[in-house]
Amino acid sequence: DSGVTQTPKHLITATGQRVTLRCSPRSGDLSVYWYQQSLDQGLQFLIQYYNGEERAKGNILERFSAQQFPDLHSELNLSSLELGDSALYFCASSLGTSGSWEQYFGPGTRLTVT
């Protein structure tokens, strides 16, 4: 158990809809990262937050947004969903300080868009 929790575990929704994925980091970790893993693809970095502030952006679509709250949990919002958004979405956390590069991953949310 990494200490990172993600909800829900599975999500099935229709095209055009909007969903919110939730992540709680490990105790003491200030950084939260979101990744997307599609079929036959590696882990694609989406976005990072550190202590409530956006720190880095990767291949995140404009239809997607995220935020980190004062209690350090994070939410990833996916809107105007398309079939191609079906994927596993992982959240990871780390201390976020220089030299602490190890990230600890949650179990993921499997999103199916029909």
Q: What H or E segment, with its residue span, contains residue 66? A: strand 64-68
Q: Is 12 in the site for another protein (CB under 8 A)?
A: no
Distances 37 to 15, 27, 42, 90, 104 between C-alpha atoms, Å: 19, 25, 6, 8, 16
Whole-number Å distance between alpha carbons of 75 and 72: 10
Measured from the CB atom, is 14 or 101 closer to another protein? 101
List the helix and strand counts (H, then E) for the chain.
0, 11
Measured from the CB atom, is 58 or 84 closer to another protein? 58
Q: Is 103 in the site for another protein (CB under 8 A)?
A: yes
Determine the interface stretch with another protein among 14-22, 67-75, 76-84, 90-98 (rule: CB under 8 A): 90-98
- Residues in contact with another protein by CB under 8 A are 2, 4, 6, 31, 33, 35, 40-45, 48, 55-56, 58, 90, 92, 96, 98, 101-108
